Amino acid sequence: MAEAVTYELLHKDAKTGARRGVIHTPHGDIQTPVFMPVGTQAAVKCMRPEQVRDMGAEIILSNTYHLYMRPGHDLIKEAGGLHKYMNWDRAILTDSGGFQVFSLGRLRKITEEGVSFQSHIDGSSHMLSPEKCMEIQQALGSDIMMAFDECAPYPAERDYIVDSMHRTMRWLERCKAAWTNRENQALFGIMQGGVFKDLRRESAEIITDMDLPGYAVGGLSVGEPKDIMLDVMDDCVELLPENKPRYLMGVGTPDYLFEAVERGIDMCDCVEPTRIARHGIATTSHGRINLKNAQYTRDFTPLDDECDCYACRHYSKAYIRHMIKAGEAMGPMLLSEHNLHFLINMMKNMRKAIEEDRFMEYKTEFYEKYGGFD
């Protein structure tokens, strides 16, 4: 039986771990490395799907936990699947819901079976298990399904991470067993192990032994210092096979994207571009700007003089600031468009740089212009 999702390596950067590839899916090809916009509740916030597509997005991420809670995976299945329901005909990756369920804190309880929790909407009781997680994602019909895992917090005791990682590995076996729609949907395994390199190695061996269509690095960027994160990531990427896509979960600021791609990561996602948009913040080639700052009151230039997105072609900072201050939906609409376009365009530039073996040169140029990260 043909795999639903396959990876093709096109070129490796001569000087770094960065690599240029294509992921083939039932809903089209994805040029990698790629940034995936997030459509948590079956919509990329403040954006029409055509706008997301037209800026070059070939895949979006949607959240299993949220869709399970509302409107329900059975309803989406009845609607003809998530693609049709939300009017997005390109690829979709769904997360496992694990991250959200574990984030519920006191409202959830972990057992070998899975996680029991109370809905953040109405307090109703639910259980998410590897089998349930696969049932939901197969009802949604996403192209790439993520295994049910525990994304352990930082800091955490080694003993906790050992237990958690091993349980996640047992859950992955159960996910694989419950994965029936292999012709149309791929299952990606997730490496855990916190910041402990030996545990990462053990986890990597277990997941790669299962020969899945793709692998993710989970449990990073959860609060650990940047240098520790980058050090662990160095190891993680090397532990993953070259012939499968590598996905670093929940990362989406320019600096982390550069660091991840430099090490050989192919896929990233983050809610940040649309979230900061709702707070009046734009990412530009000269760094971040907050449109609420008074200095933009009479600034009639575009958000970014190097950007050709819809917002930059048609509107000034002064106008967008007014929209934000006046509470008009147009403010987040324009900033979401710009912020997503910015990251997608940056990834496009990274791909071109890799093809030309000048990834580090592009990174250096970008950083110099951007001027410092947090």
Contacts to a copy of itself by CB under 8 A: 41-43, 45-48, 66, 70-71, 75, 78-80, 85-87, 297-298, 300, 310, 314-316, 318-319, 321-323, 325-326, 328-330, 332-333
First to last CA, the chain: 47
CB of residue 318 to a copy of itself, shortest distance in Å: 6
CB of residue 55 to a copy of itself, shortest distance in Å: 14
CB of residue 301 to a copy of itself, shortest distance in Å: 11
Give burial (CB, 10 Å; 0-12/13-18/19+) of 209: exposed
- Which residue type sits at 176? K
Phi, psi of 342 (to 5 degrees): -60, -50
* DSSP code for 21: E
- Known active-site residue 143: no
Q: What is the C-alpha separation between 47 and 67, in angstroms, rounded? A: 18
Q: Nearer to a copy of itself by C-beta: 21 or 332?
A: 332
CB of residue 61 to a copy of itself, shortest distance in Å: 16
Using an 8 Å Cβ cutoff, are 114 and 148 in contact? Answer: yes
Using an 8 Å Cβ cutoff, are 297 and 325 in contact? Answer: no
- Which residue type sits at 371? G
Using an 8 Å Cβ cutoff, are 355 and 340 in contact? Answer: no
Q: How many residues does the chain have?
A: 374
- Which residue type sits at 162? V
Measure Cα distances from 167 to 3, 129, 198, 268, 304 in Å. 27, 12, 16, 25, 47
Q: Nearer to a copy of itself by C-beta: 174 or 321?
A: 321
CB of residue 300 to a copy of itself, shortest distance in Å: 5
- Known active-site residue 95: yes
Q: Nearer to a copy of itself by C-beta: 194 or 331?
A: 331
Q: Nearer to a copy of itself by C-beta: 83 or 132?
A: 83
C-alpha angle 346/348/354, rounded to 5°? 105
* DSSP code for 73: H
Catalytic residue among 95, 143, 149, 304: 95
Catalytic residue among 13, 143, 266, 269: 269
Q: Nearer to a copy of itself by C-beta: 42 or 190?
A: 42
CB of residue 319 to a copy of itself, shortest distance in Å: 6
Q: Nearer to a copy of itself by C-beta: 217 or 320?
A: 320
C-alpha angle 293/297/300, rounded to 5°? 120
Name the residues annotated as catalytic. 95, 269
